[in-house]
Amino acid sequence: MVSGYLVTKAIAGGIMMMAALMIVLGHADDQAAVGVVPPIVAGIMLALTGGLLVGDLKQPKRFYYLLTKSNFDSWLVKGAYVLTSFAALSAVWFLLGAADAGDALKIVAIPTAILGAATALFALAAAWAFDFSRPVDRERTEGVAPPTRQLR
């Protein structure tokens, strides 16, 4: 399940970053290609991400608990807030795209791209942490100096 929600949220972040790039390059008035389709695809991927995440936590209350009674030192909580903010901005993007408000999309494009990148980076960081949390990988990397120490 973990690999599933890592992929789905990376797809959601990537598609919105590409849509933001299209807006920056001057295609803000192309309603279907930039205004409506990308947030729909991102919304579907985010819904799949949420479903897989709640399924992985085994109890739907835990995701709600992450958002309402959070430990702000936890990367899981930080990721949940980034994911929720990204979903909210994607919904705003969809509403603006459906209203054919190309000029307003230009305002939302950069914050959405930043949160899309953060969503994708959280996916990458989580995949790395998941991969190296397995006992086989810990044994393989035990005693290996971090890359910054090897540069000295």
Residue pLDDT, tens place only, 55-74: 877 777 777 777 788 777 87
- Indicate the number of domains in the chain: 1
pLDDT at 94: 94
Contact at 8 Å (CB) between 115 and 81? no
Tokens of 92: 């705003």
Q: Are 119 and 89 in contact (CB under 8 A)?
A: no
Nearest one of 26, 35, 19, 42 to 110, comparing CA atoms: 19
Residue with tokens 């920056």: 24
The residue range of the domain holding 99 is: 2-150
Identify the top-confidence range among 2-11, 59-68, 111-120.
111-120
Are 9 and 126 in contact by the 8 Å Cβ rule? The answer is no
